[in-house]
Structure 1
Amino acid sequence: MALEDTVQSAFEWLAHAPGARSDPEGTARAVEAALAAAPHDLDVRLAAYRFHFYTHRFAQALPHAEAILGMAARRLNVAADWTAVSPGDADFREAETAQGLYLQALIALAYCHMRLGRLDLGNLYLTKAVELDPSDRFGASRLRTAARAPATEDEDEA
């Protein structure tokens, strides 16, 4: 099967998926089928990440966010290891797709790790996003500040 056919097959699985809220298990099967058909397609990975994220399956969202970060790194021709990327490696201030995707993937990884209780790792991702995006276009600095804020009395009682 040609690459174009496998990607089309993946999109058909996603297009015919039941709603994530009305049938999360049916949607999960469709997402898995789309991934099997086109695991290296960015749109399929984005769909998989979003499905798992919005259904609060943060551990399952992580590998998709990691794959998206890797795809964006290749597009930007920066190090595969996100910890080795520096602001001068690409113009992260540009509103181009690859730069934004890279920053959003870092923030997605941070958020998922934090929701899983891995605050230190989440903060590492956020610190890198802030370093690369000092204008805070994607809110990494605000998220880092919110993550460091002490819990209020109402939150402690919950």
Structure 2
Amino acid sequence: MNLITGIESTDLFGGDVPPAVLRLIEGTRGGSSDDVAVALWTAVLSHPRCLPPYYLLYKFHANRGELGEAQEVATKALAVAARQASIDIHWSAVQPGDTDFTIPGPARFWLFTLKALAFISVRRGERAVALKLIAKLRRLDPIDCVGFDVVEALLSQSGPR
């Protein structure tokens, strides 16, 4: 599965990744973690409207246990996607009718990134924040297209509701 160039990319991000970004990302194969971090940050900074590098960067930091960095990148990704989807940049102000979250593109990426922030919040022990994010996801995505039920299950395992 290639979340940057395959069907998953189109479903989540709604479009193609610029060749310059692909070259940066593909150039990290087999590289050190530092090389990967530099390439991903370069992609984000040089193509700030391109959503896939944000995903890869927050996922990279989360997988390394760098949850503060992951949260920072995901928060930036949320703002970029909100602008592109023409929704409020404050996640708490977004309402179910503001856009169609089922269509591939920035709005769906925004919803997916909100789920990522909930996951990061659970891992950071920020239970109250995670509960608010999950409640918002439940309102915006009542049929759970992005799979927030996994984060909800993780939260329930981490302590009492």
Q: Is 1:113 aligned with 2:121?
A: yes
CA 1:77–1:141 in 2, change beyond 3 Å: closer, same or farther? same
Partner residue of 1:102? 110
Partner residue of 2:25? 14
Q: Is the 8 A contact 1:18 1:26 kept in 2?
A: no
Per-residue deviation at 1:150?
6.1
Q: Is the 8 A contact 2:51 2:81 kept in 1?
A: no
Summarize deviations over 1:4-45 as a string: whole Å, max 9, x none: xxx6544433221144xx621222222233333223322222
CA 1:138–1:8 in 2, change beyond 3 Å: closer, same or farther? closer
Choose between structure 1 and 2 for higher RCO, CA contacts under 8 A separated by at least 6 residues: 2
Q: Please, which of 73, 82, 86 is the counterpart of residue 77 of structure 1?
A: 86
Task: Work out the CA distance in 1 between the residues paired with 2:83 and 2:45.
Answer: 21
- Output aligned runs, 1:4-153, within 5 Å: 8-19=19-30, 23-92=32-101, 94-149=102-157
Task: Work out the CA distance in 1 between the residues paired with 2:107 and 2:42.
Answer: 29
CA 1:88–1:125 in 2, change beyond 3 Å: closer, same or farther? same
Q: Is the 8 A contact 2:122 2:154 kept in 1?
A: no
| TM-score under structure 1 length normalisation | 0.75
What percentage of aligned pairs have identical amino acids?
25
Partner residue of 1:156? none
CA 1:34–1:73 in 2, change beyond 3 Å: closer, same or farther? closer
Task: Work out the CA distance in 1 between the residues paired with 2:135 and 2:75.
Answer: 17
Q: Secondary structure, in 3 states, of the residue corresponding to 2:145?
A: coil
Task: Work out the CA distance in 2 between the residues paired with 1:128 and 1:40.
Answer: 24
Pairwise CA RMSD: 2.3
Task: Work out the CA distance in 2 between the residues paired with 1:27 and 1:98.
Answer: 24
Task: Work out the CA distance in 2 between the residues paired with 1:147 and 1:138.
Answer: 16
* Aligned residue pairs, count: 142
Per-residue deviation at 1:71?
2.3
Q: Is the 8 A contact 2:111 2:146 kept in 1?
A: yes
